[in-house]
Amino acid sequence: MIDDGPRLLTIGQLSRRTGLSVRTIRYWSDVGALPPVGRSSGGYRLYDAQSLARLELIRTLRELGLGLDDVRSVVDGESDIASVAAAHVAALDAQIRSLRLNRAVLSTVAKRNSSAEEMALMNKLARLSAAERKHIIDDFMEQTFGGLDAADPDIRTRMRVMVPDLPDDPTAEQVDAWVELAELMQDPDFRAHMRSMIEFNAADRGPDVPPGSSLWFMSRLVQLAGEARERGVEPESPEAEEVLRGLLGAGADLAAVLERMEAAANHDVARFRDLVSLVRGLETLPRHNEEFAWVVAALRARTAG
């Protein structure tokens, strides 16, 4: 019999009322989260109705993942639930971001069948700080545009705005794309290729060429080549010469244009654009491979030999 009356409960009775194990309740009592209100003549810990309500609160907080220190702080009235919950949300957000990074890295390792060294590099790239990621982007931009003041400024501006940092709360797909993008931006061969494209652009621009002309040219190429393909114009046909003249003007150096077109049609350049869209959370832009291939074929037909 319980000495202090029927309203007081032993740990066993609390267990039967709540469904919690005796061991769990005893542990929470031992660490001070659920102090007994008294003891029976036999030395058993006793609890009242408020203890039962406190126990339900402890269970709820523990199921939500709060540590015992925070639980004690709440049930003792030292902290309000809202502030503790807000702090726990921040901790969970950090944990979720870490888990997403882990998942993205492991997913990429599995997809690429990567070595241990490659996995370590990907893990390092995924966990770079915002300042470190910005350094990679800034260094890439300097290697691409540095000293080429004659290049179309609209290309420089568009590239700088377009190349993204990793979002604060990225998806696994965005992390995966960022890792690949960071690798690509640091690849010496890709940097050299991008540099050569901008050097071509700078060499082609006279002092009177307005900003944005290069972007206009690419839009015009897609339009004219697309219309030619829809009409069934073959790249080797005489009619294709009219299309090239409408795009390039009379007297253009077709061999030089071909060299630049082949550089722009590089697979890594297209992949770079795709990765940028993926990191930004956007649909990848059309590559217009057919239109570029048509123009390249038309130029080759007139420069062969």
pLDDT in tens, the chain (305 residues): 344 445 899 999 999 999 999 999 999 999 999 999 999 988 999 999 999 999 999 998 888 888 888 888 888 888 888 888 888 888 787 778 777 777 777 877 888 787 888 788 777 877 788 888 889 999 999 998 888 887 778 878 888 878 888 887 778 788 888 888 999 999 999 998 888 888 877 776 666 667 666 666 778 878 888 999 999 999 999 999 888 888 887 777 888 888 877 777 778 888 998 999 999 888 877 778 888 889 889 888 888 75
N-to-C CA span, the chain = 109
Quote the CA–CA distance of 102 and 127 in Å, as a whole number: 9
Quote the CA–CA distance of 270 and 184 in Å, as a whole number: 12
Backbone phi, then psi, for 157, in 5-degree steps?
A: -65, -45
- The answer to whether the CB of 44 falls within 8 A of the CB of 11 is yes
Q: From its phi and psi, is residue 10 left (phi > 0), alpha (psi between -120 and 50) or beta?
A: beta
Query: Within the chain, how many helices (H) and strands (E) appear?
Result: 15, 2
As beta bridge partners, residue 39 has 45
Q: Show Cβ contacts of residue 59 under 8 Å, excluding neighbours closer than 6 positions.
A: 18, 20
Quote the CA–CA distance of 112 and 108 in Å, as a whole number: 6
Work out the angle between the directed axes of helices 172-185 and 81-112 (0-180°, nearest 10): 60
Q: Show Cβ contacts of residue 165 under 8 Å, excluding neighbours closer than 6 positions.
A: 130, 133, 134, 137
Quote the CA–CA distance of 278 and 284 in Å, as a whole number: 7
